[in-house]
Amino acid sequence: MLDLFGDEEPWAEPLAEGAVVLRRRAREQAGAILAQVQQIAARNPFVHRFTPGGQRMSAAMTHCGDFGWASESRGYGYAEPRSDAGRCPPMPALFRELAVSCAREAGFSGFNPDFCLVNRYEPGAKMGLHQDKDERDLRQPIVSVSLGLPAVFLFGGFERTDATQRLLLEHGDVVVWGGPSRLRFHGILPLKPGSHPDAGAFRYNLTFRRAR
């Protein structure tokens, strides 16, 4: 469908059992979300962290919610509750409401996120194939909100070497991911340079999780 005016209604595209893309679902809130991201980053700056394998990640990260995320720029995984409460801002109500309603629309009622990881991609930045498995209760889904420049999302199977689907995630697209798809491998191809009216030269991705 042509998006000449940017005011189309959101629509759902099923990906697999337990996984759906809610296209444009976060468009209305996008400006407010990006403004909140700037506030979060003012208190808890974007940093490039290292994977468990010791690789510097090309996407920069910040976060909000009830937990820290590792310690300083080292390590990977959730830190102790409120261990960096001085820097880690609480989750804005706008974020929580969006995540909870998207989860409900995807069939996961009762989602109660306690953590939001924010990734910022610059041109060339990518995310290798990975599983999200550090959360305690894998029955809870993940809600992923993409803003700014478009990126190609790889959606795979349960082994790293399984074939992947490719889909373009654009400004305001939301992926909800749970149930039998919760442990699928996924990643992001290197971001192409561009300029987005609301996000400049970046892509932002917010993932909402129930960590504990």
Q: Helix 93-105 crosses helix 30-43 at what angle (to 10 degrees)? A: 130
Q: Among residues 39 and 51, whose Cβ is nearest to Fe ion?
A: 51
Q: Which does 69 bind (CB under 5 to 8 A by kind): ligand MD6, Fe ion, none?
A: none
Q: Shortest gap between Cβ of 92 and Fe ion (angstroms)?
A: 21
CA 74, CA 205: separation in Å to the nearest integer? 21
SS3 string of 114-171? CEEEEEEECCCCCEEEECCCCCCCCCCCEEEEEEECCEEEEECCCCCCCCCEEEEECC
Q: Is 173 helix (H, G, I), strand (E, B) or coil?
A: coil
- Cβ 122 to ligand MD6 shortest distance, Å: 12
Strand partners, 12: 22
Q: Which of 84, 105, 122, 132 binds Fe ion (CB under 5 A)?
A: 132
| Three-class DSSP category at 74 | strand
Q: Is position 175 an interface residue for ligand MD6 (rule: CB under 6 A)?
A: yes
Q: Does 207 bind ligand MD6 (CB under 6 A)?
A: yes
Does 105 participate in binding Fe ion (rule CB under 5 A)?
Answer: no
Question: Which residues, numbered 65-124, are part of the site for ligand MD6 (CB under 6 A)?
Answer: 119
Rounded to the nearest whole angstrom, what is the least distance from the CB of residue 23 to ligand MD6 in the complex?
14
Query: Which of ligand MD6, Fe ion, none does residue 140 bind (CB under 5 to 8 Å by kind)?
Result: none
Any contact of residue 122 with Fe ion (CB under 5 A)?
A: no
Considering only 205, 208, 210, 211, the residue that binds ligand MD6 (CB under 6 A) is 205
Tell me the closest approach of the beta carbon of residue 44 to ligand MD6, in angstroms.
18
CA distance 69 to 73: 9
State the binding string over 125-164 for ligand MD6 (x if CB under 6 A, else -): --x----x---------x-x-x------x-----------
Partners of 146 in beta bridges: 205
Name the strand (E) or helix (H) holding 186: strand 186-188
- DSSP code at position 1: -
Among all residues, whose Cβ is closest to Fe ion?
Answer: 132
Looking at residue 107, the DSSP 8-state letter turns out to be: T
What token pair was written down for 182? Answer: 């919760």
Residues near ligand MD6 (CB under 6 A) are 119, 127, 132, 142, 144, 146, 153, 175, 177, 186, 188, 205, 207
Interacting residues with Fe ion (CB under 5 A): 132
